[in-house]
Amino acid sequence: MPTYTNKRMYLLVEVHELYSFEMLREAVHQIAVHCKKENLNKVLVDLTNMNGDFNILDRYKIGLEIANTWERGVQVAAVAKENQVNFLVENVAVNRGSTLSVFTKIDPALKWLQINQE
């Protein structure tokens, strides 16, 4: 199960397990719950420790799930291993009104979220 940590300026979501569609789908919903409950509108999702990869259809469905679940105004940066990034999830979600950007390194993701690490 992913961990959800309130970092005061943003929600940090860390995934340390084998990929499954259901796990990632549930994480999308939990992110929405935590943002609303903790009054946060910025999220960093760290997928760099997730093992496995998801196929094209799963990527498309996760993008749809994001667009249908996350409130507008929530800004999410996802960080994944370079060999797992193809931007399909981002494209599907963004084309439907979500604010999501995918990165391969944490620092550019935090910069995009406008979060200063001290």
Q: Where are the domains of the chain?
A: 3-112
Phi, psi of 27 (to 5 degrees): -60, -40
How do residues 16-46 score in pLDDT, each as one tens digit? 999 999 999 999 999 999 999 999 999 999 9
How do residues 55-86 score in pLDDT, each as one tens digit? 999 999 999 999 999 999 999 999 999 998 99
Is pLDDT above 80 for 13?
yes
Mean pLDDT for 45-55 is 93
Give the pLDDT score at 118.
Answer: 56
**Sign of the Cα pseudo-torsion (37, 30, 82, 75, in order):** negative
How do residues 93-115 score in pLDDT, each as one tens digit? 999 999 999 999 999 999 999 99
Thinking of the domain 3-112, which architecture would CATH place it in? 2-Layer Sandwich (3.30)
